[in-house]
């Protein structure tokens, strides 16, 4: 059973989901933008059969308090996440991160090489300077609640268009993705998370786009698995990432629409963590 709780930190409360037995090395799971740890629930339950899983909401997303900095960095998000981990009494742990969560997982490993045992980076990007500038300019615009409710429709199209195009603001055939549209209920769940964080989710995106991964990769000392579904927007970044990491295991997962995606992911991750 997945439990939902809060832990106090110096910058407010961090909301987290957890499941499993606390007797084994914990696995900290970090979600992508712009949702919450709810997006990881399909993985949390099966992974908890192998140990204690803790999945915090990124500060300023889901139900976690926003960081006070005007422009927080991935380093800031990692420090806030570690405050929550410390508050839970966790010492050594493994870490999994997806997309922006992978950046935070990477930085946790760099900041705490004595405590992070193994690292799974699932779908991590390596942007060209041109792509980085395009994303910073257009991907996460400042949005505030409007009296006419237009922010509600904006949030729906933002989440839906992420499934159709990459990046979502280039709505043309050349940028069209070839995956199935998620169920309306799944889109709705992410939209609700976006609306909760309508004026703060942008910070985590911008931190991700400006994070110096090259410097972080050079400092990694732990065993690392770099994984990515074939349908992921960052699948073509995989080789560039792997070429920069020592002691790295490469894994290409089935596309998210394929029936064995979840089973293959769980088997792959648990085999790596238990080896």
For each of the chain's 275 residues, which pLDDT tens digit applies? Answer: 999 999 999 989 999 999 998 878 999 999 999 999 999 999 999 999 999 999 999 999 999 999 999 999 999 999 999 999 999 999 999 999 999 999 999 999 999 999 999 999 999 998 999 999 999 999 999 999 999 999 999 999 999 999 999 999 999 999 999 999 999 999 999 999 999 999 999 999 999 999 999 999 999 999 999 999 999 999 999 999 999 998 899 998 999 989 899 999 999 999 999 98
Domain segments of the chain as ranges: 3-128+210-274, 130-196
The set of residues, in sequence order, having a beta carbon less than 8 Å from that of 108 and lying 6+ positions away, is 28, 78, 81, 82, 95, 116
Chain-centroid distance, C-alpha 134: 21
| Beta carbons within 8 Å of 67's beta carbon, 6+ residues apart | 11, 59, 60, 76, 77, 80, 203
Distance between CA atoms of residues 208 and 60, nearest Å: 14
CATH fold of the domain at 3-128+210-274: Rossmann fold (3.40.50)
DSSP readout, 80-142?
Answer: HHHHHHHHTT--SEEEEEETHHHHHHHHHHHH-TTTEEEEEEES-----HHHHHHHHHHTS--
Distance between CA 56 and CA 203 in Å, rounded? 17
pTM (two decimals):
0.97
The pLDDT tens digits for 22-37 are: 878 999 999 999 999 9
Q: Are 39 and 31 in contact (CB under 8 A)?
A: yes
Model confidence pLDDT, tens digit, residues 183-237: 999 999 999 999 999 999 999 999 999 999 999 999 999 999 999 999 999 999 9
Q: Which two tokens stand for residue 18?
A: 């957890």
């Amino acid at each position: 059973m997945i439990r939902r709780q809060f832990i106090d930190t110096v910058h407010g409360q961090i909301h987290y989901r957890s499941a499993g037995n606390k007797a084994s090395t914990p696995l900290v799971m970090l979600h992508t933008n712009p949702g919450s740890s709810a997006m990881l629930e399909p993985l949390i339950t099966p992974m908890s059969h192998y140990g204690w899983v803790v999945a915090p909401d990124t500060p300023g997303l889901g139900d976690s308090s926003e960081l006070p900095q005007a422009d927080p960095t991935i380093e800031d998000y990692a420090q806030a996440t570690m405050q929550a981990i410390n508050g839970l009494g966790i010492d050594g742990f493994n870490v999994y991160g997806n997309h922006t969560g992978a950046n935070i997982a990477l930085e946790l490993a760099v900041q705490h090489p004595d405590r992070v045992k193994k690292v799974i980076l699932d779908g991590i990007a390596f942007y060209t300077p041109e792509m980085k500038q395009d994303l910073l300019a257009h991907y996460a615009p400042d949005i505030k609640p409007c009296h006419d409710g237009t922010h509600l429709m904006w949030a729906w199209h933002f989440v839906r268009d992420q499934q159709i195009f990459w990046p979502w603001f280039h709505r043309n055939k050349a940028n069209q993705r070839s995956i199935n549209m998620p169920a309306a209920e799944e889109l709705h769940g992410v939209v609700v998370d976006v609306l909760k964080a309508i004026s703060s989710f942008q910070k985590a995106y911008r931190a991700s786009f400006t994070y110096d991964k090259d410097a972080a990769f050079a400092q990694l000392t732990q065993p690392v698995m770099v994984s990515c579904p074939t349908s992921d927007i960052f699948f073509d970044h995989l080789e560039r990432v792997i070429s920069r990491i020592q002691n790295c295991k490469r894994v290409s997962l089935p596309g998210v629409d394929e029936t064995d995606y979840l089973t293959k992911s769980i088997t792959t991750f648990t085999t790596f963590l238990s080896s």
